[in-house]
Amino acid sequence: MSDFIIKPSVDNKSLFKFKKSFDEKGKIVNIPIIIEKPLTLYLNNQEIVTMMTINDYPEYLAIGYLYNQGMLKGISDIKKIEYHSDLKTIVVRTNSKTNFEKKLKKKINTSGCAQGTVFGDLISEINQIKLDTKIKINHSQIMHLSKIINMEPSLYLKVGAIHGCVLCDINKPQYYFEDVGRHNAVDKIAGLIIKNNIPTNDKVFYTTGRLTSEMVIKCIKMEIPILISRSGFTTWAVEIAKKKKLTMIGRARGKRFNILSGEFRLNYE
């Protein structure tokens, strides 16, 4: 039995439906298909973005999105959150007016992996962040985290077409979110961290998706010092990770992995 505090919603039948398909032998087979839904996010009276999402944690997604785009500094900025499931909208109201209402045009954040939108000069913002350099991780801990996460029943294993992100202690995964876009999954974790004031200086972030500049920037912004993926890297992601001393471990499968930055946090066994 896993010790996840939040784990994939594999039994939530509102997240998928069965569709008729034909297999390679021409046989009719009913298979589960993930349901993606539009969720329009408002910041006060300004429409910010329409996200395609499985919509299982709309508040975490909304808070995390606004935080990762630099539109919120923390939970103290938020006055009220209004979620309207029938209208497919969520409104985040702040204690004071923001300067984003005049600057932003409507954007659509699709489920396509390359479509995560970034507002403002986030590079300048993360330049002010210093990640904890004392935390260490060893080979067996990397394998242990990967094994537990990959063995946990998930929507990915059940229906596919989905990404997962997990917030972990050094020895165990704790919060596991999935969505049709990896940017949505990471934003849910950011929303969780902000809303529940979770310390992150000793945490590990695991993602099933590739390690792009967007993923690295968001991990640094959440002040998580170790990032692990079973997928690969992009060059800009490596450059940013090296500059900010983020430990970035990719292609983590079985006993193997590659580490391209922050190797000083790895204890070789």
- The dihedrals phi and psi of 156, each to the nearest 5 degrees, come to -60, -45
pLDDT at 119: 41
- Cβ partners under 8 Å of residue 247, min gap 6: 137, 225, 226, 227, 241, 259, 261, 262, 263, 264, 265, 266
pLDDT at 1: 47
Give this prediction's pTM: 0.89
Residue 229: count of CB within 10 angstroms of its CB: 24
Residue pair 266/137 in contact by the 8 Å Cβ criterion = yes
Question: In DSSP terms, which residues pair with 43 in a beta bridge?
Answer: 46, 92
CATH architecture of 137-267: 3-Layer(aba) Sandwich (3.40)
Q: What is the mean pLDDT of each run of 10 residues along the chain (269 residues)?
A: 85 93 95 95 94 96 93 93 97 85 52 46 81 96 95 92 95 96 94 97 95 93 96 95 97 93 91
pLDDT at 97: 79
pLDDT at 160: 87
pLDDT at 115: 46
- The dihedrals phi and psi of 259, each to the nearest 5 degrees, come to -120, 120
- Cβ partners under 8 Å of residue 31, min gap 6: 18, 19, 21, 159
pLDDT at 189: 98
- The dihedrals phi and psi of 56, each to the nearest 5 degrees, come to -90, -25
